[in-house]
Amino acid sequence: MAATSAPLAKTVLRPSANAVGIALLLVLAYGIVPLVGTSYLYEAILTPFLALSLAALGLNLLTGYAGQLSLGSSAFMALGAYAAFNLSLRLPFLPLPVTIVLAGLVAATAGLAAGLPALRLRGFYLAVSTLAVQFFVGWVLNRFAWISNDSPSGVISAPPLVIAGLSFEDARGRYLFSLTVVALLTFLAWRLVTSPTGRSFVAVRDNETAARVIGVKVARTKLLAFALSSFVVGVAGVLWAFAYLRTVEPAGFNLDRSFQILFIVIIGGLGTLRGAFLGAGLIVVLPLLLSRFGAAVLGDGFDSGTLEMCQRIALGTLIVAFLIREPAGLAALLDRAVRCLRRAD
Amino acid sequence: MPTLKIRLRSALVAGTALLALTGAANADEQHFPLQSYRVGPYAAGGTGFFGGFIDYLNLINTRDGGVNGVKLTWSEGETQYEVERGVEVYERLKSRPGIAAWNPLSVGIAYAMIDRITKDKVPLITINHGRTDSTDGRVFPYVFPLLLNPYSETSGIVEYLASREGGLEKLKGKTIAVLFHGSPYGKETIPIYELLAKKYGFKVEQIEVPHPGNEQQSQWLTIRRLKPDYVVLRGWGVMNPVALKTAQKTGFPANRIVGNVWSNSEEDVIPAGEAAKGYVAITTQASGAEYPVLQEVTKTVYGAGTGNLADRKRIGSVYHNLGIVNGILNVEAVRAAQEKFGKRTLTGDEVRWGFEHLRLDEARVAALGAKGLFHSINVTCANHEGEGRVTFQQWDGAKWSVVSDWIAPDWATLRPIIEASSATYAKEHGLTPRDCAKEEAASQAPAVGQ
Amino acid sequence: MSPDLAFLVEVLVGGLLSGVMYALVAIGFVLIYKTSGVLNFAQGAMLLFAALTFVSLTERGVPFAGAFVATLGVMVLLGLTIERAVLRPLVNQPPITLFMATLGVAYVIEGAAQLAWGTQVHGLDLGIDDTPIDIAGVFVSRFDLFAAAVAGLMVAVLSLFFRYTRTGLAFRAVADDPLAALNTGLRLPRIWAAVWIASGIVALVAGLLWGARLGVQFSLSLVVLKALPVLVLGGFDSILGAIVAGLIVGAVEKLSEVYLGPFIGGGIEGWIAYVAALGFLLVRPSGLFGVRSVERV
């Protein structure tokens, strides 16, 4: 407990610095970006970045805070996306925000079920058991045609994003829509991790027996972590499908996506909220930068395949190097940088 | 002095930039952005298809100086066959001037683009694949599943099996097993096989292989117990060679297995080695490099060292030839549109008109040096597939050879199902289908833009 | 035998033989997990790299034996490099960090393999005729029998190695209790290096056998997904467990696909093994051969 109370104390002691930073970010995201952004910025960078950040935030609640490793995140994204699609199809009178919350609840229910093995398994045994969820959900979505509204090809297109007559259909609108959802859920997640429940998550992660001794209900806490995390990941799936790709197909929510989200959490920093955003920034933007850089250095005519393979090697190397140099993630790196700046003042 | 030098240089740079800019505006160019995939699990198909497409564009540029003087240009973005990378490339390249059409060769990417290209008014070409109901151009004005959609493919395969049995009526009482990839793509034709089975009185058993399909022992044992007359392979990637190998292992003869359009390339049979000998697969374009257009590509493009394939042995392979045919169709659509709108850089919407008037009969195909490579095409406003014919090829262990005539799928049976599906789509999206007769009449009016 | 019974036997035999192939991949994981607690996700990429190197060499005219030895050398080097450059600097990091690092390594290996040898698919012919043998109406694949024999041989060699050689004994000491092993003066890095080399060799053997079955192409790295339920069932740290669990998983998978599939829908092979392994663990948390209690409550 001692180890975890230290960062908490810090936030309490210096709320103003953090608050100023967050306020600045929000001003930038709401006030400046929509004025200067291009469609490429929204569609190819910011919207996927926001959706993946949210998914990573959800997984971080489970893995980073409660210490339960999951390799099935994208299955919960898929559940959220398909639930939202079916809700808006079959109950078209529901306002979009209600649909999204209900879709998150569907994912949370599934998360609860997926969390049951966690009561008996830990570590990689649990991780591999979450793969069962990953493959089972993929199979179910493929098996029952009504889930995709009997569409012959199984690929469905997302309904328009309209709330109370206000359309968020263009690129900027979909960015602002995602931003709002992400900001709200991030705020709720922040409330959660600073609450007693959040502290019991950390207690379970650090030492289950000790947690039990101080009165934490371990089983209940684990299941709660699974449910809450799946809720957030499910909503991220809705953003991914409705705001970003605007189509849903099971193949998009595969194991690679689950690994990608886990990468974001690890690289960003386990057990920090800002880590999810930092990690997602790196994972979304870095490949684009690498490919732009490659194209700029080697010219447009250069074989894009070779370039991509070099990129893959570079990305893998960077990940390894990063894990070696900064195992605590980008969040820790940022903290150090900030501290250095402060000392320099 | 240094400042002067710098100023001089910057003036020079600005001057050339201006020149380039005006130059670009003067010299007409038509651009093809390519969402290619040259790495990852499906790289073999991507290098072949995009290689063939680029080779043909190159041929038109070097041999003819472009289409009526309009140069063809292209740029590539790697997608690894992933949808979100495809979207990123779309957003990155869509602002290039003079885009003629998009050709992703990926069902997932194509689906994610339908909304976007419809809004941006640029054609989306999904040759041999894509959304079946986009055949109905009245609802999908910008989407073109050229030559073959999945339903026609199904019908074509059944017609071929009938021809092997000696007529459609001989199918009665036969058993056909369909081994399909466990994905939306694999499942798409299930109802069509059921429909045709009922119509012609054969029995159909459809068996799913879970992705990626690297284990098929149980499926083939089921087939062995079923003792079907034919097995149709609706495969994808590694599933195909494994199917052929497992067929051999369970004693099912390869010449009674018929592959669909994604199970018909060299990459699908070479890994299966001996087990693939005798295997038959559908195709819309014959393979081989003996066709005049392939000869010209070899001579003009590869002779000058600008060929796109790293391995010259792959010239004339299934995917390379698909890329060539795709190139012909795109170029001819641009040509058709130029006849109407003028010999200049066209907008996406004008090229769309060109695709809707893409009529290549056998004589025209022969004139293009593609006699025998593909049959013909006749795209209209209402029919975006264009009545493509199919043929069947057999693998002999080293190469494919054609073993059937050009077969016409039973479009009349399929059209009502397609229209029902597109009507649902139109309703879901609040679209009013176009009135093709009226548009046609309007476009007969004096040409604009000349 | 009645046809139904014969069919059942055939499915069962087919499943068991496939199970051997899964176990072959799982052993590579076990070797590394046992000594260093790393779930090496790069095993699939190593398998692909080995098969691709081998097949590219033979296609360039190198004879079978030469290509095998050369690839073996490459795999030894690769194993050593991974251990030295990635795992050693990460010693004492939590398992999840190590796991992510091996994912990074998998990226690098996949990229490098395709950069070096291209993205073409290759056929790999080990010269084993794969027409079925008919034993009392039951078809058995020659190739699968051969693969099973190779797997058996490899397990035998590994067992002998661990039982009778100094390095093997040291390996077991480390697996049993790393701290005690350190105290007795065993040099851990040396053992880790040996283990990575061994897993490189296992990857080569598994890569060749799987490559002959699937063709050598990118999807080869996906066979690890077949090995994971085997690991859960047999334990991440038991070679015997991997073999037995492999057989069980193979049999369960095929039997349920054939007999259960028609009722709940086909294509269940993708997850049924995971669910079966999970169900078993929930009933018996110590697993098949487990005295292990470290990772389970």
pLDDT in tens, A62-119: 999 999 989 999 999 999 999 999 999 899 899 999 999 999 999 999 999 999 988 8
pLDDT at C63: 94
Three-state DSSP at B73 gives strand
> If you ran DSSP here, which 8-state letter would residue B431 be given?
P
pLDDT in tens, A227-243: 999 999 999 999 999 99
pLDDT at B450: 40
Nearest to B352 by CA among B141, B94, B107: B141
Please state, in angstroms and rounded to a whole number, the distance separating the CA atoms of residues C8 and B185: 31
> If you ran DSSP here, which 8-state letter would residue C185 be given?
T
Of C17, C144, C214, the CB nearest to B214: C214
B129 touches A at CB < 8 Å: no
CATH number of B151-283: 3.40.50.2300
Contact indicator for C83, C196 with CB cutoff of 8 Å: yes
Three-state DSSP at C177 gives coil
Contact indicator for C219, B237 with CB cutoff of 8 Å: yes
> If you ran DSSP here, which 8-state letter would residue B233 be given?
E
C215 touches B at CB < 8 Å: yes
> Does the residue A342 lie in any domain?
no
Contact indicator for C191, C35 with CB cutoff of 8 Å: yes
Task: Name the burial class of residue B413, with classes exposed (0-12), middle (13-18) and buried (19+) by CB atoms within 10 angstroms of its CB.
Answer: middle
Answer whether residue B41 shows pLDDT above 80. Answer: no
* Tokens standing for residue C252: 């369960």
Quickly count: other Cβ atoms within 10 Å of residue B16's Cβ.
11
Contact C100 A120 (CB under 8 A): no
pLDDT band at A15 (very low <50, low <70, confident <90, very high): low
Mean pLDDT over each residue of chain B, to the nearest integer: 90
pLDDT in tens, B193-235: 999 999 999 999 999 998 888 889 899 999 989 999 999 999 9
Nearest to B391 by CA among B128, B195, B145: B128
Q: CB pairs below 8 Å between A and C: how many?
A: 132
pLDDT at C130: 78
Please state, in angstroms and rounded to a whole number, the distance separating the CA atoms of residues A77 and C198: 39
pLDDT at B4: 42
pLDDT at C296: 38
Taking contacts as CB-CB distances below 8 angstroms, the residues of chain C near B38 are 119
> Does the residue A171 lie in any domain?
yes
pLDDT at A3: 39
Please state, in angstroms and rounded to a whole number, the distance separating the CA atoms of residues A138 and A248: 12
B218 touches C at CB < 8 Å: yes
pLDDT band at B408 (very low <50, low <70, confident <90, very high): very high
> Does the residue A200 lie in any domain?
yes
| Higher per-residue pLDDT: A306 or B243 | B243
pLDDT at A168: 87
pLDDT in tens, A114-150: 999 888 888 888 888 888 999 999 899 988 888 888 8
* Tokens standing for residue B436: 């093709």
Q: Which residue out of A162, A249, A304, A306 would a mutagenesis test of the B interface target, given it has the greatest number of B Cβ atoms within 10 Å? A: A304
Contact indicator for C55, C216 with CB cutoff of 8 Å: yes
Residues 239-298 of B with CB under 8 A from C: 241-242, 245, 248-251, 267, 270-275
Residue B338 C-alpha, separation from nearest chain C C-alpha, in angstroms: 39
pLDDT at A246: 87
Q: CB pairs below 8 Å between A and B: how many?
A: 99
Nearest to B191 by CA among B108, A278, B180, B123: B180
Lowest mean pLDDT among B16-20, B30-34, B307-311, B325-329: B16-20
pLDDT in tens, B148-169: 999 999 999 999 999 999 999 9
pLDDT at C92: 81
pLDDT band at A301 (very low <50, low <70, confident <90, very high): low
Three-state DSSP at B357 gives coil
pLDDT at B15: 41
Task: Name the burial class of residue C29, with classes exposed (0-12), middle (13-18) and buried (19+) by CB atoms within 10 angstroms of its CB.
Answer: buried
Q: Which amino acid, one-letter code, is at A287?
A: P
pLDDT at B394: 97
Taking contacts as CB-CB distances below 8 angstroms, the residues of chain A near C292 are none
Q: Does domain C3-283 have CATH number 1.10.3470?
A: yes
Please state, in angstroms and rounded to a whole number, the distance separating the CA atoms of residues B348 and B427: 26
Contact A40 B91 (CB under 8 A): yes
Place of tokens 């990941």: A233
Contact B207 C266 (CB under 8 A): yes
Three-state DSSP at C216 gives strand
Task: Name the burial class of residue B255, with classes exposed (0-12), middle (13-18) and buried (19+) by CB atoms within 10 angstroms of its CB.
Answer: middle
Contact indicator for C79, C73 with CB cutoff of 8 Å: no
- Domain B29-148+288-378+410-444: CATH architecture, name and number where available: 3-Layer(aba) Sandwich (3.40)
Residue B94 C-alpha, separation from nearest chain C C-alpha, in angstroms: 28
Determine the average pLDDT of the residues in C252-258.
92
* Tokens standing for residue B141: 């004005």
Determine the average pLDDT of the residues in B103-107.
91
pLDDT at B7: 44
Contact indicator for B182, A142 with CB cutoff of 8 Å: yes
Q: How many CA atoms lie within 13 A of A194 on its CB side?
A: 14
Nearest to B115 by CA among A254, A252, A161: A161
Of C15, C120, C267, the CB nearest to B210: C267
Please state, in angstroms and rounded to a whole number, the distance separating the CA atoms of residues A198 and A208: 15
Quickly count: other Cβ atoms within 10 Å of residue B263's Cβ.
26
pLDDT band at B13 (very low <50, low <70, confident <90, very high): very low
Answer whether residue B111 shows pLDDT above 50. Answer: yes
φ/ψ region of C34 (left if φ > 0, alpha if ψ in -120 to 50, else beta) reads: alpha
Contact indicator for A251, B108 with CB cutoff of 8 Å: yes
φ, ψ of residue A136 in degrees (nearest 5): -65, -45
- Write the ipTM: 0.88
Lowest mean pLDDT among A94-98, B180-184, C288-292: C288-292
Answer whether residue B248 shows pLDDT above 80. Answer: yes
Taking contacts as CB-CB distances below 8 angstroms, the residues of chain B near A261 are none
Determine the average pLDDT of the residues in B60-65.
95
Nearest to C257 by CA among B260, A137, B223, A253: B223
pLDDT band at C120 (very low <50, low <70, confident <90, very high): confident
Task: Name the burial class of residue C264, with classes exposed (0-12), middle (13-18) and buried (19+) by CB atoms within 10 angstroms of its CB.
Answer: exposed
Contact indicator for B165, B404 with CB cutoff of 8 Å: no
Lowest mean pLDDT among A161-165, B17-21, B374-378: B17-21
A207 is in which domain, residue-wise? 37-253
Nearest chain B residue to A246 by CA distance is B112
pLDDT at B73: 95
| Higher per-residue pLDDT: A15 or B278 | B278
End-to-end CA distance of chain B: 52
| Higher per-residue pLDDT: A150 or C53 | C53
pLDDT in tens, B311-364: 899 999 999 999 999 999 999 999 999 999 999 999 999 999 999 999 999 999
Quick one: which H or E segment has residue B271?
A: none
Of B46, B92, B112, the CB nearest to A246: B112
- Name the residue ranges covered by the structural domains of chain B: 29-148+288-378+410-444, 151-283
- Most confident of the ranges A19-28, A44-53, C134-143: A44-53
pLDDT at A298: 67
